Structures are given as structure tokens and as C-alpha cells.
Amino acid sequence: MRPVVKQPLLRHLGLRDYIPVWEAMRAFTDERGSDTRDEFWLVEHPSVFTQGLNAKPEHLLDTGAIPVVKTDRGGQVTYHGPGQVVLYPLIDLRRLGIGVRHLVSALEQSVVDLLADFEVNAYPRRDAPGVYVELPGRGEAKIASVGLRVRRGCSYHGIALNVAMEMTPFQRINPCGHAGLAVTQLKELGIDLDVKTAGERLAARLTERVASSE
């Protein structure tokens, strides 16, 4: 029988620079013990491009004054900025008995579930992690990006959902390493949520998804 695991503690970090939050996630993961409660961190970042471990420099097209950070998550290059909610699940995967692929799927399906509440059909792609929707007259567009790291059997980094943000920086990169990939946000889909509310709803959906795996 698996031990009883408490529901993750939800922390609202507000608008925080990327690097200090990244360092805090690493420290939390390195210092946690077998009984440490899992946490979900909700945060917005000031404008920044981040490159994952598989990132290729040619996918940075014209970064201008926006800083670029090479980080230790999986995946390619993406953009974070105000108006986007980032959910970082700091989860002990071994304790839950789940793997990385399961957590990636749970993150993606949490966005799918959230959009379904507003009668928007969204879907993941196995060949290009993240969540996508179909836009009338534009075709497929990405609305959420996923990138994780696992150390000592515990996860950090997570999923970024575009809510109501300035989208032009995405044109300065090949999002997630895909040239010409269209990117969208909740606002464009007619979903009127602020970042805090969107983050809370996403965290609730992820809690349900993770709990169902126990």
C-alpha cells in the first residue's frame, strides 16, 4: 500500500525573475526529504527566452534586448513574459509511483481539461510536447509549452500557459524549435481569465490528474 500523500501546497509567487525562481526550484529539490510535501508554484516571469538542454542556437532568430537563459529543463527554446502563467510542479515522482512521461501527460491534459470548461477543443502532440488548438482560418496554434527536469526522482520546471500577453516576442524565435509555429493565448480564444485565476484552475486540474494516478 502506498503512503498517504498530502495534496500539493499551492504557492503564488507573483511576478518574479526567471533565474532566482529556477535556483529556488533546484534548491528545494536538492534539499527535500522523503516526507517533504509536494508543492505547485504559480509565477509570471518578466520577458525572457529560455533554452532547454536540446536547444539549438539557430532557433533564436532576433532576441533583441530580451535576455536569453540556458537552463536545465528538457526541450528547445520558448518565451516567458507577463500575462503568461507558469506552473512548476515540485513533485516526488518516486513516492507517487509515476514516471516523467506520466507527469508530462498530466500537465498537458490539465490544460486540455481547463479549455474544455470553455468548450474549446485542445490536444497534445506526442512529436512536439505541449498543448495545441485549431484557430479558424489559421490552423494549428500552440497555447502551452512543457519542459521538465527530474533530479533524485523529483520534478521541477513545468508548463507555461499563455493567458493574456504580448505575443510578438514569439516571432523572434522558432517556438520549441519549430519554424513558423503559430502561438495563441486564452484571450484570443475568447476566454476571459486573469493570470491568477487561470493558474489556480490549472493547478486544480493538475491536482486531480496527479491524484488519479495514485
Of the residues 176, 191, 195, 202, only one is catalytic, namely 176
Q: Is 207 annotated as a binding residue?
A: no
Question: Are residues 208 and 106 in contact, defined by beta-carbon separation less than 8 angstroms?
Answer: no
Q: Looking at residue 1, what is its pLDDT? A: 42
Asked whether residue 83 carries a pLDDT value surpassing 60, the answer given is yes
CA 155 – CA 32 distance, rounded (Å): 11
- pTM of the predicted protein model: 0.94
Q: Looking at residue 4, what is its pLDDT? A: 53
Q: Is 76 annotated as a binding residue?
A: yes
- Per-residue cell: 42: 504559480
Using alpha carbons, list the distances in angstroms from residue 97 to 2, 94, 153, 161, 210.
9, 5, 10, 26, 10
CA 29 – CA 45 distance, rounded (Å): 20
Q: Is 4 annotated as a binding residue?
A: no
Asked whether residue 212 carries a pLDDT value surpassing 80, the answer given is no
Average pLDDT over residues 193-210: 96
Average pLDDT over residues 179-200: 94
CA 59 – CA 50 distance, rounded (Å): 11
Q: Is 182 annotated as a binding residue?
A: no
Average pLDDT over residues 28-56: 94
- Name the strands in the sheet holding 77-80, side by side, starting at the edge strand that comes first in the sequence: 68-70, 48-51, 77-80
Q: What percent of the chain has pLDDT over 90?
A: 78
Q: Is 159 annotated as a binding residue?
A: yes
Show the beta-strand stretches assigned E in 107-209: 122-124, 131-135, 139-151, 154-162
All domains of the chain in start order, with CATH: 9-211 (3.30.930.10)
Q: Looking at residue 5, what is its pLDDT? A: 60
Average pLDDT over residues 1-29: 88
Closest among 4, 26, 53, 8 to 208, alpha carbons compared:
8
Question: Are residues 173 and 80 in contact, defined by beta-carbon separation less than 8 angstroms?
Answer: no
Q: Looking at residue 50, what is its pLDDT? A: 94
Q: Is 101 exposed, middle or buried (0-12, 13-18, 19+ CB in 10 A)?
A: exposed
> How many CB atoms lie under 10 A from the CB of residue 38?
21
pLDDT for 103-154, tens place per residue?
999 999 999 999 999 999 999 988 888 999 999 888 899 999 999 999 999 9
**Does 176 participate in catalysis according to the annotation?**
yes
